[in-house]
Amino acid sequence: MRIGMTVYPGVGGSGLLGTRLGVELAKHGHEVRFITYEVPFELQEGRYKNVKVDLVDVLEYPLFRYPPYTVALASRMAQVVRKHHLDLIHVHYAIPHAVSAFIAQQMTGVPYVVTLHGSDVHTLGADPAYQPSTRFAVEAANAVTCVTKHICQTAEESLGIRCSIEPITNFTDPTLFKPDACEFAFGEGKRQLLHVSNFRPVKRVGDLVTAFAQIAEKVPDVDLLLIGDGPTRPEVDRLIRKYELNSRIKCPGFKRDVYQYLRCAHAFGLSSELEGAPLSLLEAMSCGLPVVATSVGGIPEIVQDGINGLLVPFGDIDALADKLYAVLTDSKLAGDLGRSARQTILKNHTAEKVIPQYEAIYEKVLQG
């Protein structure tokens, strides 16, 4: 098949998943062309056979307060479809990609698939500024998927979507994200509690900092490493100074080799307010780490409390601190949770399990 793949090219989960999906599809012999405004973060163009990038040009003009990316993207989609004879377009994150795909379909007749990831449903998607057009374009798609059953349900409740939505979970690479020898040198004798995100408000990174502040003196051999960056970084830095933990909490920014840090970590924390199927959580579990996460969104579909991780109510910082302390001080608990987490990934969240599900969706769409 010849597939056009549209993603946000940054480090958000939808973009990473869409990029990895495109690469895996190419490995299966499909031709994949990424249609977006810059080369995706994880994609090294030329490294993968059958993977190309077609960039979108957005016109800067004094008349426009905001450049009309939706229209430019639709035009580029149509151009790529015609030039390269694409069979279908698959867009990740509905806003505004679904609307662009709908316009491209009207121009070319090419079918399109929409994958819903999370905040395009429960946050932005429900906003009155986007909801009517997003719902229309999603319902007009030839197929719709979502990364968790919770997102499917939320799409029906928040967006009022009435079409069929197929849940297909996210996946990771267990040959890259695996328990392995640590190749990094951290503080001598220090263990690492790790967090990875794009520091958006919904990630509530400050809650994790506050929880760590409660247990820092009890676990003097543990540091907190916050990988990523984003709009709440100043707030996080302020909290670190407030609790006088500059020597114990580090924020190294975004890292392409995040798997190296996960292999060196001893536990993983996630304090989000809302989530779909967070890739950072899957990657941590694949590395055999004991995870402590908030019981929100699609996380309970992945983490079984007390079996392959620990869950806490969102906003309960005391509970978050207690569970983090438990996995950092009880080696048997941490080991049992980590081994079970690894098995969960091998059973449910690999490319071998997920790619055939997307291929089946594509085949169904092309058969009409």
In this structure, the answer to whether residues 224 and 102 fall within a common structural domain is no
pLDDT reported for residue 189: 67
Q: Which of 312, 229, 233, 223 is nearest to 267 (CA)?
A: 223
Task: Give the DSSP letter of residue 232.
Answer: T
CB of 123 within 8 A of CB of 93? no
User: What is the spatial distance between Cα 146 and Cα 26, in angstroms, rounded to a whole number?
Assistant: 21
User: Quick check: is 251 in a domain?
Assistant: yes
User: Would you say residue 319 lies in a domain?
Assistant: yes
Q: Which H or E element spans position 4?
A: strand 2-6
What is the rounded distance in angstroms from the CA atom of residue 232 to the CA atom of residue 228? 11
Q: Has residue 181 been placed in a domain?
A: no
Q: Are residues 31 and 109 in the same domain?
A: yes
Q: At what angle do helices 331-348 and 279-286 cross, to 10 degrees?
A: 110
Predicted pLDDT of residue 187: 56
Residue 328 lies in a domain: yes
* CA angle, 86 then 92 then 94, to 5°: 110
User: What is the structure's pLDDT at 158?
Assistant: 79
Letter for the amino acid at 128? Answer: P
296 is in which domain, residue-wise? 191-348
Give the other-Cβ count within 10 Å of 177's Cβ: 23
Question: Which pLDDT value is given to residue 63?
Answer: 73
Statement to judge: residues 359 and 314 lie in one domain:
no
The answer on 309 and 214 residing in a single domain is yes
Phi/psi at 247 (nearest 5 deg)? Answer: -85, -10
Give the C-alpha separation, 298 to 167, whole Å.
11
- CATH code for the domain of 211: 3.40.50.2000
On whether both 207 and 340 belong to a single domain, the answer is yes
- How many structural domains compose the chain? 2
Q: 266 and 303, same structural domain? A: yes
> Is there a single domain that holds both residue 159 and residue 89?
yes
124 part of a folded domain: yes
- Helices within the chain (DSSP H only): 13-27, 69-84, 94-108, 119-122, 131-139, 149-158, 205-215, 233-242, 258-264, 279-286, 317-329, 331-348, 351-366
pLDDT at 288: 97
Residues 163, 128 share a domain:
yes
Q: Is residue 185 part of a domain?
A: no
C-beta atoms surrounding 318 within 10 Å? 11
Residue 135 shares a structural domain with residue 219 = no
pLDDT tens, the chain, 368 aa long: 999 999 998 767 888 899 999 999 999 999 999 999 998 877 865 677 889 999 998 877 777 777 899 999 999 999 999 999 999 999 999 999 999 999 999 999 999 999 998 778 877 767 788 888 999 999 999 999 999 999 999 888 878 888 899 999 999 999 999 998 776 665 566 899 999 999 999 999 999 999 999 999 999 999 999 999 999 999 999 999 999 999 999 999 988 889 999 999 999 999 999 898 899 999 999 999 999 999 999 999 999 999 999 999 999 999 999 999 999 999 999 999 999 999 999 999 999 999 999 999 999 999 97
Give residue 246's pLDDT. 94
Same domain, 152 and 200: no
* Spatial CA neighbour of 3 closest among 50, 57, 36: 50
Predicted pLDDT of residue 11: 65
- For residue 291, the cross-strand partners are 268
Residue 137 covered by a domain? yes
**Does residue 201 belong to any structural domain of this protein?**
yes
Q: At which residue do the structure tokens 């304090």 appear?
A: 271
Judgement on whether residues 166 and 301 belong to the same structural domain of the protein: no
Angle between helices 69-84 and 94-108 (to 10 degrees): 50
Are residues 201 and 160 part of one domain?
A: no
Select from 299, 292, 254, 263 the least CA-distant residue to 278: 299
CA distance 286 to 172: 8
